[in-house]
Structure 1
Amino acid sequence: MRCDTGATAHLRRRGRAQAYDRRGAALNVTQSEASAAIASLEERHATKLFHRVGRGIALTEAGRLFLTEARGVLARADAAETVLEELGGLKRGTLRLVASQTIAAYWLPPILAAFHERYPAISIELSIGNTGQAAARVYDGKADLGIVEGEIDNPALAHWPIGEDRLLLVGAQPFGDADIDVTWLRRARWGQREPGSGTRSTLNSELRSLGVDPAALDVALTMPSNESDRTAVEAGADVAVLSALVVDPAIKAGLLHVAPITFAPRPFFGLRHKERYRTKAADALLDVIGLQRR
């Protein structure tokens, strides 16, 4: 049996005041409105909650018992309303993010630090996966927002450019005056990221634009992370195309060298489910990203 919380609230207030006229004025409700709400509650449950003598009132035993329970119910209702108000004002809550590896490890951390400085009460849950895995989490509702390197072909997901980086062809030995043409690319021994990786997807697109079939490459190693791919290249096992964010420290240290070939800037994409609720925390993070890019 459901309880009318509005009538219950009137009962709590009446129980405190023990008088219709004074409390009704304080609540900005008329005596008749308060009386009708309480009478409805009594009638519905066939129980008298007040003794009425003239203009005065007193709780019955049933009223006292009910009021004890009602206070707990209304306190929880008040607390729930406070939670909603705080969520709306970004005073508490959780932002569920998913990002592909390059973004999560290199591009996103300073942005999250700036977000935390602005909204210290919002906790962040960051999941990491390749582009395909990130898209799946957003689609399944396990993440409020995704940030990935590759384009997503899923009509249920909205995706838009949110940042960018550069891809570099690197090796352990200097490339000198090498002519990085179609023949060179086909003859090189390659290290690659796994299928589903945004880095691999972008590389494949670049190769096709140059007239190279990605399936024709001599792939020596397929690696599950940027770091493992970079380390293999540093050891001289192969060449690879990786994000400048990943290889810049090794280039500066002289461990890797950059080939004389230029790839188009690689966009990062934001991902959201078109039909799911847009959280204020996710919107706030997008605002921070916009400020960081200026």
Structure 2
Amino acid sequence: MTLDQLRVFLAVAEREHVTEAARVLNLTQSAVSHAISMLEAGCGLSLFSRIGRRIELTDAGRLLQVEAQAVIARMAALKARMADFAGLGSGVLNLHASQTIAGYWLPGRLMAFRALYPGVELRMQAGNTAEVCRSVREGHATLGLIEGEVDLSDLRCETVALDRLLLVVAPFHPWKNTPPQTVPELVGSDWILRETGSGTRGVLENVLRGSGMTVGDLSVLMEFSSNEAVRAAVEAGGAATVLSASVVAGSLEAGLLHAVPFLLPERRYVLVSCPQRDPGPSGAAFAAFLTGGG
């Protein structure tokens, strides 16, 4: 039983005439008769009664007519849904992003994308850089957005922005007046840091590594998995930290933090995807939107 056979059957059932159905379908009469014969053979039932030169539906034929109409209608609806999906009239985009991007850089861009494609459902989850990369590798996220430099050899990567990092302390910290001049001088303060696996922490680790040091050489009082918790702890105490300029902008303006003039490298915001998986229309459109190709 095929869709084409069902379409032929419905045309004959509607007209109760093989020749008329053949004309409407632009088929030969023999092709229509063959399709009906194949359908009856497949069902093991007679679908039409032949009464002289007329045909009429049997009870089995009337049952099949109702069901076939439902099948053809469902197929038409499916084709419409798939066309809608391909045209970004519908769909779901699972997006994972690291904390700084998710909290500060991404929300406005998600709203702009949704204005372009209101039918696409956006599902965003925040984590640290390592967690986001793992989600993309395992297929839990269609796309990921991360900060910092990690091993991305198995992922497709595109830089979508640059981020400026700042060394910040509370206004009463000694570094406000006597800032460190070299990396080894960073041991002269207590520290509050993001957790291991964070892109923000990774930048500091790379800076230390360049001078033969590790985080273990610093006096780390606490670690948090939240930018806001790190910022609040530094505002309240005498420790230092490194955070994105976007995270501390409000605190700097309010005088709750002081930016220490210590040069830190810019870091990339990177869009990551799995090269073995199709991102689908919504994923491809969002990637093009972020990279300027859409």
TM-score normalised over the length of structure 1:
0.91
- 1:255 corresponds to which letter in structure 2? L
**2:219 is matched with which residue?**
218
The CA distance in 1 between the partners of 2:4 and 2:190, in whole Å, is 74
**1:116 is matched with which residue?**
114
Assess, with a 3 A threshold, how the Cα gap between structure 1 residues 170 and 30 changes in structure 2: closer, same or farther: farther
User: 2:179, 2:262 within 8 Å by CA — same for their partners in 1?
Assistant: no
Moved more, 57-66 or 163-172: 57-66
User: 2:180, 2:186 within 8 Å by CA — same for their partners in 1?
Assistant: no
User: What SS is found at the alignment partner of 1:242?
Assistant: strand
TM-score normalised over the length of structure 2:
0.91
CA RMSD across the alignment:
2.1
Deviations 1:49-79 (A, max 9, x none): 1234576432221110111122222222222
**1:231 is matched with which residue?**
232
- 1:87 corresponds to which letter in structure 2? F
TM-fit CA distance, 1:262 = 1.7
Assess, with a 3 A threshold, how the Cα gap between structure 1 residues 74 and 178 changes in structure 2: closer, same or farther: same
1:31-42 matched pairs, under 5 angstroms? 31-42=29-40
Q: Please say if 1:85 is aligned against 2:83.
A: yes
TM-fit CA distance, 1:223 = 0.9
**2:2 is matched with which residue?**
4
How many residues were matched structurally? 291
Deviations 1:157-196 (A, max 9, x none): 2223222211110001262352331332022211110111
Q: Please say if 1:180 is aligned against 2:177.
A: no
Of 165, 168, 171 in structure 2, the residue corresponding to residue 167 of structure 1 is 165
User: What SS is found at the alignment partner of 1:267?
Assistant: strand
Q: Please say if 1:15 is aligned against 2:16.
A: no
The CA distance in 2 between the partners of 1:260 and 1:236, in whole Å, is 19
Deviations 1:20-56 (A, max 9, x none): 3333333344433333222111112221112345764
Q: Please say if 1:189 is aligned against 2:207.
A: no
Assess, with a 3 A threshold, how the Cα gap between structure 1 residues 129 and 28 changes in structure 2: closer, same or farther: farther
TM-fit CA distance, 1:237 = 3.7
**1:279 is matched with which residue?**
280
TM-fit CA distance, 1:210 = 4.0
User: 1:20, 1:56 within 8 Å by CA — same for their partners in 2?
Assistant: no
Moved more, 24-33 or 69-78: 24-33
Moved more, 35-44 or 243-252: 35-44
Percent identical residues: 37
User: What SS is found at the alignment partner of 2:286?
Assistant: helix
Moved more, 246-255 or 145-154: 145-154
The CA distance in 2 between the partners of 1:200 and 1:288, in whole Å, is 28
User: 1:167, 1:241 within 8 Å by CA — same for their partners in 2?
Assistant: yes
- 1:159 corresponds to which letter in structure 2? C
